Copies of this chain bind each other. A is one copy, B any other.
Amino acid sequence: MRTLFCIAAVLAGPAATAAQTARSMTEIIAASTASDWREIDPQNTLYLDLRQGRIVIELAPQFAPRHAENIRALAREHFFDGQSINRVQDNFVVQWGDAESRQPLKDAKRTIPAEFTRIALGAQFSALPDADAYAPQTGFADGFPAARDLVRNTVWPVHCYAMVGAGRDDSVDSGGGLELYAVIGHAPRQLDRNITIVGRVIQGMELLSALPRGPAPAGFYEKPEQRISIVQVRLASEVPAAERETFEAMRTDTAIFTALVESRRNRTEDWYKVQAGHIDVCNVPLPVRIRKK
Docked CA distance A172–B90 (Å):
32
Quick one: which of B9, B170, B172, B218 contacts A9, CB cutoff 8 A? B218
Q: Is the CB of B91 within 8 A of A205?
A: yes
Of A133, A160, A188, A271, chain B has the most CB atoms within 10 Å of the CB of A133
Quick one: which of B2, B92, B99, B280 contacts A169, CB cutoff 8 A? B2
Instruction: State the copy count for this chain.
Output: 2
- Give min CB distance, A177 to chain B, whole Å: 12
- Residues from chain B with a CB closer than 8 A to the CB of A100 are 1
- Residues from chain B with a CB closer than 8 A to the CB of A191 are 5, 8
Which partner residue on chain B sits nearest A162 by CB separation? B91
Docked CA distance A91–B185 (Å):
7
Quick one: which of B4, B161, B167, B278 contacts A167, CB cutoff 8 A? B4
Q: Is the CB of B280 within 8 A of A189?
A: yes
Is A186 engaged at the interface, CB distance under 8 Å to the other chain?
yes
Q: Is the interface of A mostly helix, strand, loop or mixed?
A: loop
Residues of A within 8 A of B (CB): 1-6, 8-10, 12, 17, 19-20, 86-92, 95, 99-101, 116, 130-134, 160-162, 167-170, 172, 179, 181, 185-195, 205-206, 209-213, 217-220, 264, 267, 270-274, 276, 278-280, 282-283
User: Would you give 18 A-B contacts (Cβ < 8 Å), ordered by A?
Assistant: A4-B181, A5-B195, A6-B87, A6-B89, A8-B188, A9-B219, A19-B217, A91-B161, A91-B205, A116-B274, A134-B280, A160-B186, A186-B280, A189-B280, A192-B276, A193-B273, A209-B209, A210-B211
Besides A5-B191, A190-B264, 18 other CB < 8 A contacts?
A2-B168, A3-B169, A4-B168, A4-B179, A6-B217, A8-B92, A20-B218, A116-B274, A131-B133, A133-B278, A170-B270, A185-B186, A186-B282, A189-B280, A190-B276, A190-B283, A194-B272, A210-B211
